[in-house]
Each structure stands twice: as C-alpha cells, then as structure tokens.
Amino acid sequence: MSKSKMLLIILISFVPFFFGSFNQPKREDVKFNLSNHQTFSTDAKAFVTLFSPPQFKKYRMKLLKIDDQLKFVEAMNKKIFANQFDVITTDGEHLLQFTSVVNEWNFFPSSPNHWMSYNIDLGIISKPGLYVVQAISDNKVAYAPVVVSNYSIVYKVSNNELLGFLSDNRTGRFQANAEFTLMSRGIDSVVKFSSNDEGIAFTKLDPKFETHAISQLIVKKNNEIILSNPYLYFSGERENLIAYVYTNQPVYRPGQEVNFKSIIRKQRGNELVNIDSKEFLVTIKSPRNNEVFSEEMRTNDFGSLAGNFKLDENAEIGDYIISFEGEGTTLFGSFTVEEYKKPEFKVTVQTTEKRYSRKDTINIKVNADYYFGSPVTNATVVVGVYRKAFWIPWWYWSEHNWFYDRFSKISYWNAQPQLINSVEGIVNDKGEFSFSYPIDEKEEQDFTYEFVATVTDQSRRAIIGAAETFVTRGAFNLSISTDKYFIKKNDNIEIRVDAIDFDRKPVLTDVKLIINRVEFKKNSFEETVATLNSKTNEKGRAAFNFKPEAEGFYRYAATAYDEKGNKISAHGSFYVVSENLSDFYQRPESGIEIVTDKESYNKGDTLSAFVFIPHKNVDVLLTFEINRIISHQKISVRENIFEVKQILTDEFSPSFNINVVYSFGGELHN
C-alpha cells in the first residue's frame, strides 16, 4: 500500500522560541531571554515569558505591530537559517521599519535577586496580526513574536499538488475566496491561487517543485495576512548534524575485526544536506572507557566515512561506543563484544500433553545430558512458571487473513508473560527432574504456560531449556464478529461465530447467541431483544441474521460447551443509528473515528463509512488518497456523525486511504 507523502501545517503549532542579545554578547556573559510558544485569538489575553537572571533589575518593554507583513516576510525569507532573530538582515535592512509601537512600559522583576521566569501580560490584543515584543536592559535586547489570529491554515502537498483551506477557529468554517501565496526555497517565483466558493484551495505545482522546500504559505482574507508558519522567521531553522552509524555485525568476539561506517547529514528543517570533505575524530572506547581506536577521518563525496580495527585477543566484554567528533558536535554508535563458550550439556523440558484445561495437573520432566553422552548429576534445577494470556485474532477467519498475518510472527496474539511460580530441585542419577503442577485458573481467559528450567552443574555452568503448553477454558475457541459495525435502523446485520480447536481444526458444536440492547440515558438498563440458536458447519462457522428495530448500542454474546461441559463464550457489540443519523449519542472515544462497512471491497463496490467527530456544525475536508489525492470534498457537518459513500473504481485498487481533517478552536483534528 502506497502512502501519500503529505505535509500538514496549522497556524497554531506550538514551538518554543528563545532569543539572545542583539549585541551578541560573549558566551560567558549573562543573558536574558523572551519566549513565546502559542497563538492568541482576538479575545484572549496575550503574554510572553521573560527569563531573567539576577543581574537585571529593570526592563524597558515595547509591543510592536508589524504593519507590512508581506515586506517583513520577504526580508526574513532571505535569512531563515539564522540561529537567532536579528532586527538587521544579512543585507543590512532594518526590520523595525516595518513596525509601529503599540505600547511601552517598564517591568521590574519581583524577585530581582534570583533567576526567575515571568509571564509578561500583554492584555487582549483585539487587532489580528503579527507582533513583536522587545525587552531592553543595560546594553542588551531580546525579542519574541506574538501572533494574534482567529484563522488557521491547513494544507497538504502530494504528488506536486497542494490542497488546503483557511478555517475560522471560532466556527470551524472554511473561508471562501481567500488569496493564497506559496513561498519556497529553490524556486525564484512564488505560486498564487485562491480558495473557491466552498473555501477549498487547490493548485498544481511545478514538477521541479520540492515539497520539503516550502517555507511559507501566506493567506490574505479581509485585509488580514495569515502565515502557515509565522514563528519561522523568529526561531530560525537550526542546523544540526545527524548520523546513521553501523557496524558489519552487532556482536563480535575478542580478536575479530570490526568494520564500521557512518553516513552523516546536516538537517535543515525538513531537508537533509550532504556533508562532504569534513574531518571527524573517530574514537572507540571499551566498556571501561579505555580508548582502543582513534583516528582523524574525512567524509567522502557522499558524506560517509568508514574504517576498521581488530579487537585484542583479551578485549573487554561488553558494549563499545564509537564517537565521531567534528563540526561542533559529537555523534555516536555502538557494538557489543561477547565471549562465546560452547555449552557442555543440553537441557530439555517436556510436558505430557500439548493442552490442558483449567483444573488439570501438568506433569513436567526436565532432562540434562552432557554432549558426550552421560547424564548430568548432582545439578540444581530452578524452574520458572510463566503465564501469558492469548487469543486468536479476529482476522484469522477472514478471507484476507494472509494480509493480516504478516503483522505477527506467531499465529496467536500473546500478552506479556508473568512469573507466577518457581520450583526448585536436584536432578537424579539419570539427569532427570520431574514434578507435577496443578492448575487453578479462575479467569475467563485462555493462557499459555511456559516452564523455563535453569540447570547448574558442579562447574557452576548454567544452561536453560523451556517448554510451552496451552491452558484453555475448553477444548476449542470461539470467535465472533459482524459484517458491519454501524448500521441504520431496520437494516440487516450478520453475526458470525467461528469454532476452532487449538490444532486449527474446525469444530462442530451447538451455539447460542443472545443480543441485548443497552440504554445509556437517565435510567440505564439492558434488555434482551433476541435469543438465537444454530450449529456450526463443516468449516466451524455459524451465521445469525438480525434486524434491529431501534437505534442504540447493542451487545451480543455467543456460548458453546465442549465434551467435558466447559463453557466457552465470545462477545462483541455494534451500533444502530436512525435513518437521518440524528439522536445518536456521543461516541466514547475522543478524536475522529472512521468506520467502514466492510474490511475489503471489490472493484465496482460502493464503500459506506460512518465518520464520528467530536464537534458539531463544522466544515471538514474529506480526501481519498493513494500515492496522490484521488478526490477531495468539503462536507458541512451538522451532527457528530456523517455518512460517506464512494463507488470504488480501478484507481482505488489495490488499496487506499480515507482522510478527514478540520480545524476548530485553534486545534487540528485529523
């Protein structure tokens, strides 16, 4: 399945900003900082944070409004890789010429003799825009941005297409006829386009356009300028080195040769830049911090360097650290040295049966034999008893189980093992240790029991052996599922029950199905609305059809019995909504949820999906995507639920993604 490469940016993304002195004091000088990491609406109190050392007793504060944001953006776009905001650009242009003073005041730290952080209250800034707070003390100055807006920009770029919208944070509605301007690095010209009458903006991009080169998306609406990443020009995109460090094998023995390689890149925002012909000091240290290798090396034309060295025959055992020091930073990798000694004997653990029920007794036998043929005698044995819950995944009976099976190396999904008991003993003259373990399971769950035996002989050499067995509620397992998870009232739903034993063979058995409707209003109650009986067929499956007459939440449970009378059950749930999707209670899950009516489709089928969102009366953008956007649609949602239908043509094959995104209250929901 190909995933669409996309970039999703929203105006209110939280990023911290710290700015140093305008005069660039020496490193040892004490500095103060201003920071801000949020966007404010026009009816919220704005503030910035001042980090003040005890050396500064008074600050002269200014709130400046950037009057010409477009010119400001153009000037700052020339130096977005600066590590600090500076009011003077690399071309000598003074950025404060684009600002006007809104307010001036003095600030006196309340704890002038201590390092403290203070929230500087700016009050409610009723006019949207981009502002700058200036703090001056002695001969030093710091700046912090303040963004005030009631809008958010949301966009994605895929296959040289840009799709997005401008959303009102107060209403969640898309804004029609907004003017979009895309600025980027690597292309001289800008891209201009507008949102249509529905508020959706779409444009084709030049084939040479690099999606990660987007620096800013600017939207103009009602004489207001909105930036997709307004803080970019204040924080700068800091450059840092990253490296992929690896060896030709993860573990070595003493005396072996270690071959190592490092691929080094400089990271600029979303870009990775090649680092060629740069010197690095490569050092390898042992677990006891002893230096075993050191050499100056230079990266090649591809930004990588490689080397090798031979471990000493008496090399220390443990983890070794490889460091690459250069360009003002240090990068690290590691490998392990272990001493291997061939075991002199082997340990086997056996149980008399492969599967047990919850009241059975397990008979375990531990056997220890030297490889030259004699049994291990006078050896101690410690057997740890581990238990872990397991269940057969729902997709096991699907016609597409081959697809899901690749997500797990084991046939059954297991939980984490728990140590529930320990048994100690001594092997006899035959190298054997046997014991019985009674099972006393009360939980309605299937388990695997693992018996891990550690045998320690007279030379204090410890060897481990293990065996695993099933401890189940009955002779087989039930799995239950529906063909749909959400249906409309009076639609038919099929409930499938599968019975399979633990050798993966189908089981013929009687099955009883009970369906209950649950009411969650003032006086919660649960009533049985159907009791159905059936038998599994030669494939171990029983199918039940049910047509609910009322909307709401339904629980169902299937019950069967094995030959010993052990009760085996499985349960699930589904939802029923009214024809117009109203009167549907709020979903318990938070965020957006998309539920399709089937797990797979054929070409020509019509997909039906219910979409649940946490807000009402908002606009959402629905897209169907592969490695590109197949289609997009604006949907004005009235309730917390809406239905999506789509005819699946050839372009949806073999798989596709459904995406729903909207912005409300300054938060992105996707």
Alpha-carbon gap, residue 212 to 417, rounded angstroms = 44
Q: Starting from the edge strand earliest in sequence, which strands make up the sheet with 129-137, in order?
A: 39-40, 140-148, 129-137, 59-66, 99-107
Banded model confidence at residue 581, pLDDT cuts 50, 70, 90: low
Residue linked to tokens 């606009």: 619
Q: What is the mean pLDDT of residues 472-477?
A: 87
Banded model confidence at residue 395, pLDDT cuts 50, 70, 90: confident
Q: What is the model's pLDDT at position 17?
A: 30
Q: What is the model's pLDDT at position 275?
A: 87
Q: What is the mean pLDDT of residues 134-153?
A: 90
Asked whether residue 126 carries a pLDDT value surpassing 80, the answer given is: yes
Q: What is the mean pLDDT of residues 372-392?
A: 91
Looking at 201-205, 270-274, 656-660, which range is the least confident one? 270-274
Query: Which sign, positive or negative, has the C-alpha torsion 666, 4, 272, 188?
Result: negative
Asked whether residue 89 carries a pLDDT value surpassing 80, the answer given is: no
| Cα–Cα–Cα angle for 623, 624, 630, rounded to 5 degrees | 105
471 in Cβ contact with 449 (< 8 Å)? yes
513 in Cβ contact with 574 (< 8 Å)? no
Looking at 318-322, 339-343, 429-433, 513-517, which range is the least confident one? 339-343
Q: What is the mean pLDDT of residues 411-421?
A: 77
Minimal CA–CA distance to 501: which of 328, 664, 354, 290?
A: 354
Beta strands in 53-190, from DSSP E residues, in sequence order: 59-66, 99-107, 116-124, 129-137, 140-148, 151-158, 161-168, 179-184
Burial 498-537 (b: 16+ CB within 10 A, else e): bbbbbeeebbebebbbbbbbeeeeeeeeeeebbebebebe
Asked whether residue 358 carries a pLDDT value surpassing 60, the answer given is: yes
Q: What is the model's pLDDT at position 222?
A: 86
Banded model confidence at residue 206, pLDDT cuts 50, 70, 90: confident
Q: What is the mean pLDDT of residues 644-666?
A: 93
Banded model confidence at residue 273, pLDDT cuts 50, 70, 90: confident
Higher per-residue pLDDT: 128 or 21:
128
Largest distance between two CA atoms of the chain: 95
Burial 18-44 (b: 16+ CB within 10 A, else e): bbbbbeeeeeeeebbbbbbebbbbeee
Q: What is the model's pLDDT at position 166?
A: 96
Q: Which of 14-23, 244-253, 268-277, 522-531 has the highest mean pLDDT?
A: 244-253
Distances 573 to 485, 632, 645 between C-alpha atoms, Å: 8, 32, 23
Q: What is the model's pLDDT at position 597?
A: 81
pLDDT in tens, 22-67: 333 343 467 888 888 788 999 999 999 999 998 899 999 999 998 8
Residue linked to tokens 């995933």: 3
Asked whether residue 403 carries a pLDDT value surpassing 90, the answer given is: no
Q: What is the mean pLDDT of residues 576-590?
A: 62
pLDDT in tens, 291-301: 999 999 999 99
Total count of residues recorded for the chain = 670
Q: What is the model's pLDDT at position 598?
A: 79
**What is the percent of the chain with per-residue pLDDT over 70, rounded to a whole number?**
85
Q: What is the model's pLDDT at position 84?
A: 47
* 485, HSE (Cβ side, Cα atoms, 13 Å): 13
Residue linked to tokens 């189980």: 401
Q: Which of 302-311, 472-481, 593-602 has the highest mean pLDDT?
A: 302-311
Q: What is the mean pLDDT of residues 226-242?
A: 70
pLDDT in tens, 423-433: 999 999 999 99
Asked whether residue 639 carries a pLDDT value surpassing 60, the answer given is: yes
Alpha-carbon gap, residue 393 to 398, rounded angstroms = 10
My answer on whether omega of the bond before 250 falls inside 30° of 0, hence cis, is no
Q: What is the model's pLDDT at position 475?
A: 87
653 in Cβ contact with 647 (< 8 Å)? no
133 in Cβ contact with 141 (< 8 Å)? no
Residue linked to tokens 């005030």: 148
What is the token pair recorded at 645? 């239908």
Higher per-residue pLDDT: 10 or 277:
277
Mean pLDDT score of the chain, rounded to an integer? 84
3-state secondary structure at position 65? strand
Q: What is the mean pLDDT of residues 285-296?
A: 94
Higher per-residue pLDDT: 539 or 342:
539
Banded model confidence at residue 6, pLDDT cuts 50, 70, 90: very low
Q: What is the model's pLDDT at position 3?
A: 36
Looking at 9-23, 598-612, 626-640, which range is the least confident one? 9-23
For residue 69, give the H/E element and its range.
Answer: helix 69-76
Minimal CA–CA distance to 329: which of 241, 393, 262?
A: 241
Q: What is the model's pLDDT at position 152?
A: 93
Higher per-residue pLDDT: 612 or 102:
102
Minimal CA–CA distance to 635: which of 613, 656, 668?
A: 613
User: In one letter, which amino acid is 155?
Assistant: Y
What phi, psi does 249 have (nearest 5°)?
A: -155, 150
Q: Which of 103-107, 271-275, 568-572 has the highest mean pLDDT?
A: 103-107
Q: What is the mean pLDDT of residues 137-151?
A: 89
Alpha-carbon gap, residue 132 to 46, rounded angstroms = 12
131 in Cβ contact with 148 (< 8 Å)? yes
Q: What is the mean pLDDT of residues 543-554?
A: 91
Banded model confidence at residue 335, pLDDT cuts 50, 70, 90: very high
Q: What is the model's pLDDT at position 576?
A: 87
Q: What is the model's pLDDT at position 22?
A: 33
Q: What is the model's pLDDT at position 168?
A: 95
Asked whether residue 650 carries a pLDDT value surpassing 70, the answer given is: yes
Asked whether residue 15 carries a pLDDT value surpassing 50, the answer given is: no
**What is the percent of the chain with per-residue pLDDT over 90, rounded to a whole number?**
49
Asked whether residue 492 carries a pLDDT value surpassing 50, the answer given is: yes
Q: What is the model's pLDDT at position 239?
A: 64
The answer to whether the pTM exceeds 0.85 is: no
Looking at 80-94, 144-158, 287-301, 615-629, which range is the least confident one? 80-94
* Paired residues of 285 in beta bridges: 291, 321
